Structure 1
């Protein structure tokens, strides 16, 4: 990995180095970043078959895992079990990603309640009699799967059991991570508000705001019912609020780390209309113009 990085510093177009860098990330379970390197490698060397195969495997593994997570969250446990099993056949050598898949698949015992409850009962007996390892194993498997599928309340519950059973620094850290993710999940999800991924670029965030601000602007819905107008106004404000945070590196960093921006007055001067005017203002900008009472049309520069 270090050799590939050194080569890329001297020659960022080296297809082999891009492939090796992507492969390292792939086996560290950083699949999204790995795919970016594989794609770049193929741009530099279109006939790089190893990069093509690795890219195909990475995309397939990610897609199948996400399908399994979605089925699990929706309560389709048998389908999730099948999807996780299919994912495990894609690349047996990707140990880290496959470990998560095995954890996720183990949690699908909840689709067979009698078996699952028997397991938990037996592991509770292990804890009672001091044989903690088997119990910790199943709870750790459960916790990992809950975290991976964003079921944070369940993850906190089980990590608390793990920490109470064996108070190590590792278990304390895992519990704190789960508690932080639970706290973050209860806030407004600004990424979902704008419809972007958490690793979205500055340009992607701007494009998303452009699209959604126009979609929900109150003037666009001036002829709708009072109920619709109220809902669209609310969405317009949320879009502006999301853009205010995610377009500011410092606020974005604090938001991503779980910090409550309201605690330090970070949003006290927020005004959705001002954000809109600042974004669309200037020469060649955008404006709403009235053609009659309650009637507006869009004008692009």
Structure 2
């Protein structure tokens, strides 16, 4: 609902007024809540919101489909242009100049029938109505005109309420109450506006005043129950509705609200029982159902505790922050958020939140227990990291074990994964490869994408001569994040080791040591050729001839590599025959281009794409 056109003063700017007429309610658009579409039309924000909601209603879409009509997206009421959610903005943001022009439209007081002669700009109407010095020059408090004027103020408040301008509606309802303090509906209307602003306490206070004035005021009881539920005082909400049923028997809306509150109480009790039994998935399901009925802190924090129990800290942080923003003094919210932050290994912020919870309530048992546990766990984790930095890996293993025991963290939490992975790395440095692999496996089970555990596991597998397994582990991680450069380097190293393990041992084939000189290699080659020359096995079985031919060919390959300094160095670095030949060719091409070349890659060899 916009500003009545009847109260817009006739002027030469009638064309401007027409441009700012809402085509839905046919009034002048609301100054403080004016929407601007991508197709350059303006509407009251509340009118357009309701229009788009009706157009996008699933029942409407289903009905269209049932009649063989393609469901259409919401469209502009003026030009039928399809509108998405990001196609609508405020007029102030979209066109500041047009917004200023709208604010300068001359209007009269919408309560002029009460005798107010004020005239001014549209932008000044709200401040005028709530200013006893300009509106009726203070006569709105006079007993003879108070009731009529209060009713007019209430009507203006209702218009603001319908336009979703709840703060302005509260101001107007407050003025109406000042003019006529004995009307229950004024308090009830203001209570509804408080509820939409998230001010449950103020809503409850106004509802109690309304009920005191009119014990049969049903809306007062209904809104009081909602406000009490939002304050997590479900028992008081049930009692309020029980009293209401006695004073207003047979009211269907009271019975329906009472049933809803009883269901909510059941959800909260069942959720608390599931948390106590550590059945976190069930608890989350129950609290999700409760949150569908109300956004009270008890349900929201119950869901946050369930998420924390499942090790899913991110959503627990969002839910607890939501409660803290609405209730800055909620002790439970700080405790839940502090716990989740510590489980994310952010002990600095986590301990600050737990201390704030204890500051608000020094006797809060949950916060006390969490503070003790997380303090010990954080200190042990720091000791482990400091010991590892000093290469005292035995102490590091003990400290990380203490951190796990002190935290008593959920298996799937980031803290569990981090502690296990860091302990695994300490085991690796102590060459306790089996222990390292066991901790890495547990860390990956805790957090499937925890990369440090994969890196430590692959290194332990390589050190135990299992390069193929190391490569497979890293391939799994690459599937999760193909663009990660660190994972790619680890994978290349594992792939290099796989190829290295599959190479022929040319030193063994020739029967020489790895430090043999070239003459020694050639001498050994001649001796082995005499042994495996195919002519010497011509009278043997087919298998013997095949073996001789294979060994003779291997001797030739071995001499080809060992007789060339560059090729032999590359072989000693771990390259197979194919990669050696490719690198030699690359060096020749570089030398031909004048680039020098000739280098065999040195220790950086495994960075090649041929590893």
The structure with more radius of gyration = 2
Larger RCO (CA under 8 A, 6+ residues apart): 1
Q: TM-score, normalised by structure 2?
A: 0.22
Q: TM-score, normalised by structure 1?
A: 0.42
